[in-house]
A and B are shown apart, each in its own frame.
Chain A
Amino acid sequence: MTSAEPPPVERFRPADLERDWGRLRSTCPVSKTTTPDGTDVWLVTRYHDIRSVLGRQVFRVTPLDSDVSTETGEGNESIFQDPPEHTRLRGLVAGPFAVGRVGKYRAAIRAKADELIGAMLSSGEAIDIMADFSKPLTMNVISDVVGVPGPDRAMFQRLSDQLLVPVSEAQGVVALEGWRQLNEYVRSLIAHRRRTAGGRGGDLLAHMIRVQKEDASLTDVELTTMVLGLPVAGYVSTANAIAVAVRHLVEDKWLDELRVCPDRPALLKSFVEEVLRFQSGDNGESMPRFAAEDVRVCDELIRKGDMVVAPLVAANRDDELFDQPGSFDPRRPGLGRHLAFGFGIHRCLGANLARLELQCAVAALVDSGLGFEMLESWDSVPWEVNMLGDRFPVRLLVSAWQTEYGTRNRERTT
């Protein structure tokens, strides 16, 4: 038995992401709707209700009628399960992603970002932020974190990229094949590491191998799936968020604002948080939940087994918490309350890492002294959906040049 199939990808996507959350919130905060495939679903649109749905144990991530049984080894080995399985798996893997633990990657992330930026001027041609910056950067971080050896990295990225191809029929086959090969590679890598290094090393593979030695309950399939979950969860979403950040840096001139701001570190942090708040819905949306019993949300009775969707995009655009939520403003008060990483026990495991990557990427761009120009407006950037259900911008074309704004000016304001 292998985990040769992709993890469950059934995601509720509002057919229209630009739906009027404000009107729904004020007239019908918990409304009935249907998913694109016709399933009945509750749609929750207020920040506090969304947080409540995501945070309460009564809302499960697996449908009640599903016959998942880990004992028979069938179904879902990923971390996206309900307690007690989720608690066990998350506990095993969470350590390396704790806020205090990811900091060790900061220097490497920054060095990679500087290297990629340094190469931007050499081509003399249009730069695709996705292909030339955000994807190689996040892939490099993932390779560092997982422990992918240098010579394998190009292949690792190629296989991961196959997961990102748009989900047309022909490319779906490519993606599925990519998934199988990626799975195969990770399994062989684990076996190799077990043989050669045992549990030695500071990367995720070493950690998981050590964990498995101490906790026999962790199966090989689970180990493989969790290691694989990282490129799946952390690659596109973080790369997307970096692209969104670049959009606001360039199109809204925050790059220049950051360069002249007397309190740059603070503004940079809130800029990243605002990017996270703002990009919700563009990518990294929450999975649907299922009521384990009859439960009320905002006076609406939700029956046992009903599907509930609590979109992060709606929470992050709730004007009760965020004034003028549709505008991008890193100086807005209360920014820390955004739910870009979700909430509750399934809150994004890689949140600290993703945040660090964004901060390093933005800081590297600010310090580079490069000027950027969008070669096409953000509105005309094409987005695709990959087979994992993630939306991603196909490209983000910019031109870059070395500005004359002197390093001494920059030091002056740092």
Chain B
Amino acid sequence: MNAQPEQLTKTWSYPFARESIIDPAPALAQLRESAPIHKVRLATGGDAWLVTRYEDVRALLGSPAFGTQYPGSVPTVDAENLAGGFMFLKDPPEHTRLRRSVSRVFTVRRVAALRERAEVVAAGLVTTMVEKGPVVDVQEEFAYPLPIAIISELLGIPESDRARFRRWADIVLRAVGGGEGFGEAFADLQKFVVALVESKPDGPDLLSELAGQSGEPGGLSRLEIASMAMGLLMAGYVTTASAISHGLLRLFRNPAVPAGIRAGELRITDVVEELLRLQDEEVGINRIALADVDVCGVRVRRGETVIASRVGANRDPRAFRDAESFTVDSPSGQHLAFGHGIHHCLGAALARMELEVAFGTLLTRIPGLRLAVAFSEVEWSADGMDVNIDRLPVAW
């Protein structure tokens, strides 16, 4: 019998200890260079495999041999547990049906219409920021309010309900209030979303369109629509806000980039792609082997978890020249920030649009925008998979 290579006998703790808010742990690059696959011990308990190279991550995310659930387990949705219906936790054929329905209404035209709305919202937020100056927390004043406003718009939430919708979302998704009242807020939020879907169709929003097709072939049930709405909030709120604040921090660390945007030397779309490629506020996507399968020369048993490191893939020198550099001529869209395969982020176009509007508005309307504290003074916390900027004080 052959001796086992070290990467298979040694177990690494995952996620890796962080030293920086915006840069991945150095261990990631070391692992990626040493071997394509490693065994890791998860902070939450249990073991998993970790793949870190671009081609392997892409292959894993595109492989029908892997799913999001333990083989044979199918979560079910009910009004008290909308999470049971989240599309990103479903496998085919269920996933295929849900995805097809929502893709039909999540159109380019819808994103284009939301862009106009996002520009107005962003401009208003900037105006308020400037009035509140000289130093404001751009995260509270801009990064969170923008995506929650766009999600409210997307879901067609009436103006009068938006404040409480955001309050619940903040308690549930951001632990605002330190976890106090989480259960109650979660229950209220679910009830609200179910009732919201009941009131549809009442406008041109996404939920109305889904509700309008509810009785038709391929249409979704009211409960599935409510679950979808909840899933969009889960997938689209904190992720986008975090991409805005982490992206801003990266721009502050690379001031030639905003200068290039202002000078017309860099296109905002290219900048957003590079920010997405380099972003590191989330760790990998978990996939579960539906049967015994070979990955990178290793036998992965049915039910075992393989983690696809998007950050590892997006900084893999095999896939990107100057992989650690902010380089605007990277092949656009080839990064895996939005994942790959059947679960490729449904809201990718929406997120790109929001980021373009966010950075574009901030940088052009506040030309002197800068970090109000030293970079080393920015408060952040890493909790398991999440890397959270606590406050992002800016001045101009």
The chain A residues found within 8 Å of chain B, CB to CB, are 253, 255-257, 259-262, 371, 373, 375, 399, 401, 403-410, 412-413
Contacts and interface: CB of A to CB of B under 8 A. Distances in A.
A405 B326 contact: yes
A413 B327 contact: no
B326 A404 contact: yes
A371 B254 contact: yes
A371 B253 contact: yes
Contacts of A256: 255-256, 258-260
Nearest to A403: B254
Contact of B259 (A253, A406, A407, A408): A253
A373 B257 CA distance: 16
A371 B255 contact: yes
A405 B328 CA distance: 9
A408 B374 contact: no
Interface in B324-346: 324-329
B250 interface: yes
A406 B255 CA distance: 12
28 contacts: A253-B255, A255-B255, A257-B263, A259-B260, A260-B260, A260-B263, A260-B266, A371-B253, A371-B254, A371-B255, A375-B374, A399-B374, A399-B375, A399-B376, A401-B253, A403-B253, A404-B278, A404-B324, A404-B325, A404-B326, A405-B326, A406-B326, A407-B325, A408-B322, A409-B260, A412-B328, A413-B260, A413-B265
Nearest to B322: A406
Given A373-B374, A404-B326, A408-B325, A260 B253 contact: no
A399 B327 CA distance: 24
B331 to A, nearest CB: 13
A261 B265 CA distance: 8
A404 B326 CA distance: 5
Contacts of B374: 373, 375, 399
Interface in B237-269: 250, 253-260, 263, 265-266
A409 B327 contact: yes
**What secondary structure prevails in chain B residues at the interface with A?**
loop
B322 A259 contact: no
A405 B325 contact: yes
A172 to B, nearest CB: 37
Contacts of B278: 404
Nearest to A404: B326
Nearest to A408: B327
Most buried by A among B254, B322, B327, B374: B254
Given A260-B265, A262-B265, A404-B278, A409 B253 contact: no
B335 to A, nearest CB: 14
Nearest to B263: A260
A412 B325 CA distance: 14
A255 B255 CA distance: 9
A403 B256 contact: yes
A185 to B, nearest CB: 42
Contacts of A255: 255-256
Nearest to A372: B255
A405 B256 contact: yes
Contacts of B324: 404
A399 B373 CA distance: 12
Contacts of B250: 404
Contacts of A253: 255, 259
A375 B371 CA distance: 12
Contacts of A257: 259, 263
Interface in B356-383: 374-376
Nearest to B368: A253
A100 B266 CA distance: 38
Chain B CB count within 10 A is highest, among A375, A403, A404, for A404
Nearest to A366: B256
A327 to B, nearest CB: 14
A261 B325 contact: no
A375 B322 CA distance: 30
Contacts of B265: 260, 262, 413
A413 B266 CA distance: 11
Nearest to A410: B256
A373 B375 contact: yes
Could you say which of A257, A259, A409 has the most chain B C-beta atoms within 10 Å of its C-beta? A409
Contacts of A261: 263
A253 B262 CA distance: 12
A262 B329 CA distance: 17
Nearest to B325: A406
A28 to B, nearest CB: 37
Nearest to B328: A409
Contacts of A371: 253-255
A409 B250 CA distance: 16
Nearest to B326: A404
Contacts of A403: 253-256, 326
B263 A405 contact: no
Q: Interface centre among B250, B257, B259, B327, by most A CB within 10 Å?
A: B259
A376 to B, nearest CB: 10
A412 B255 CA distance: 17
Contacts of A373: 374-375
Contacts of B376: 399
B251 to A, nearest CB: 10
A413 B260 CA distance: 10
Interface in B247-304: 250, 253-260, 263, 265-266, 278
Contacts of A409: 256, 260, 325-329
The 10 closest A-B pairs by CB, nearest first: A406-B325, A256-B259, A406-B327, A260-B260, A259-B256, A404-B326, A256-B255, A256-B256, A405-B256, A260-B265
Given A403-B254, A407-B322, A260 B328 contact: no
Contacts of B263: 257, 260-261
Contacts of A260: 256, 259-260, 263, 265-266
A410 B258 CA distance: 14
B167 to A, nearest CB: 36
B162 to A, nearest CB: 37
Given A261-B263, A409-B327, 12 more contacts: A253-B259, A259-B260, A260-B265, A262-B265, A403-B253, A403-B255, A403-B256, A405-B254, A407-B325, A408-B325, A412-B329, A413-B265
